[in-house]
Structure 1
Amino acid sequence: MLSLIEESKKDNDMSAIDPKMLEILVCPLTKTTLRYEAQAQELISEQAQLAYPIRDGIPIMLVDEAREL
């Protein structure tokens, strides 16, 4: 499995996400694209107004785990 922080390991910067992975992931509720928020380590669904957490480099794409914006 590809790590979401693959690129960051090269630079020792744990706040980066693999752009290819971000292109693939969509909001499970709305099926729309997500925006990566590096500081909060979250994937943001603007349409659903939800923030999905990233834990240990793995996105938790469960609506029940998402934070409302």
Structure 2
Amino acid sequence: MLLPLAALLAACATTLPNSAGNCPTLPQAPAAIEPMPSETYSASTQRDMENWRRRLIGTPATLRP
């Protein structure tokens, strides 16, 4: 009874091959600062809303029969 148990323990105790060479490399660190946008969020949003309003007003209304 002890012999099969000893054989199982010996089989489980085998060492695995070293796989340190297969590890992926770390990506490069991100830039410390983000580039400033050419236009503020508020200005671009206001411009987009004005364009949307012009398109909406310029669209002819559809009449239901």
Q: Which structure shows the bigger proportion of residues in strand conformation?
A: 1
User: Given the two structures, how large is their TM-score scaled by the length of structure 1?
Assistant: 0.17
Higher RCO, 1 or 2 (CA under 8 Å, sep at least 6)?
1
- Which of the pair has more CA radius of gyration? 2
